[in-house]
Amino acid sequence: MPKHVDPEARRRLVVDALFRVVVRDGLQRTSLRAVAAEADLNIGSLRHYFASQHDLMHFAMQSMLDRVSDRLLAHVERIGDLSGHPRPEQLRLAVGLLTELLPLDERRRAEVGVFMDFNAAARSNPAIRDLSRKTAEATRRLVRNVLTRLDAAGTLRPDLDLTLETERLTALLDGLAFSSVLHPEVLAPPTCVDVLARHLDDLSSQGGAP
């Protein structure tokens, strides 16, 4: 009897292989043949699930975004209502949530590295450009959600423009993530966390207070 193959499990195996190839070799050197070899499949089997390299890239990026999104949603659920915590704890919880977007360990470093390659490719690849835009919008929604929760708890200064602060904080996260991936010897993970924590503290109603 022919061996039963779970299509979704096979797709996840291929996506994991794709991530490893992109992390190791870069997106520009990633091909269906390289991914098939990494997944220990023949190229024909791979084409059964993905008609083209564009299909593979689109599915892989969406899968990565889903993974990060699921992790963030679980973190948000754990935090709950910030107003039930004292100010220092609110800021600590907010920092902990936002650091899910920073390359503080090997898993997140790989995710940010792959994300950087995908975003660069999205400039000229319509197949993944829409996901790049959706990711930018989703990041801003997350940041706005964190700031809105802190504001509702009375933690932020009352004179802040949350729309502007959303863009400032998003830009800070992007800069920290990209710089740390490109130059980890210059910007270490603990420094990323310290910079983010100081920024949120500066936005708080008692910013700079002990």
What is the model's pLDDT at position 32? 84
Residue 42 has pLDDT above 60, yes or no: yes
Q: Indicate the pLDDT class of residue 5, thresholds 50, 70 and 90.
A: low
The stretch 112-140 carries a mean pLDDT of 86
Q: Indicate the pLDDT class of residue 2, thresholds 50, 70 and 90.
A: very low
Residue 202 has pLDDT above 80, yes or no: yes
What is the model's pLDDT at position 68? 86
What is the model's pLDDT at position 21? 86
What is the model's pLDDT at position 139? 93
Residue 80 has pLDDT above 70, yes or no: no
Lowest mean pLDDT among 1-15, 17-31, 153-167: 1-15
Q: Indicate the pLDDT class of residue 143, thresholds 50, 70 and 90.
A: very high
What is the model's pLDDT at position 31? 82
Q: Indicate the pLDDT class of residue 163, thresholds 50, 70 and 90.
A: very high
Percentage of residues of the chain with pLDDT beyond 90: 38
What is the model's pLDDT at position 159? 92
Q: What is the mean pLDDT of the chain?
A: 86
What is the model's pLDDT at position 3? 54
The stretch 74-78 carries a mean pLDDT of 78
- DSSP symbols for the chain: -PPP--HHHHHHHHHHHHHHHHHHH-GGG--HHHHHHHTT--HHHHHHH-SSHHHHHHHHHHHHHHHHHHHHHHHHHHH--GGGS-HHHHHHHHHHHHGGGS--SHHHHHHHHHHHHHHHHHTT-HHHHHHHHHHHHHHHHHHHHHHHHHHHTT-B-TT--HHHHHHHHHHHHHHHHHHHHH-TTTS-HHHHHHHHHHHHHHHBTTTT--
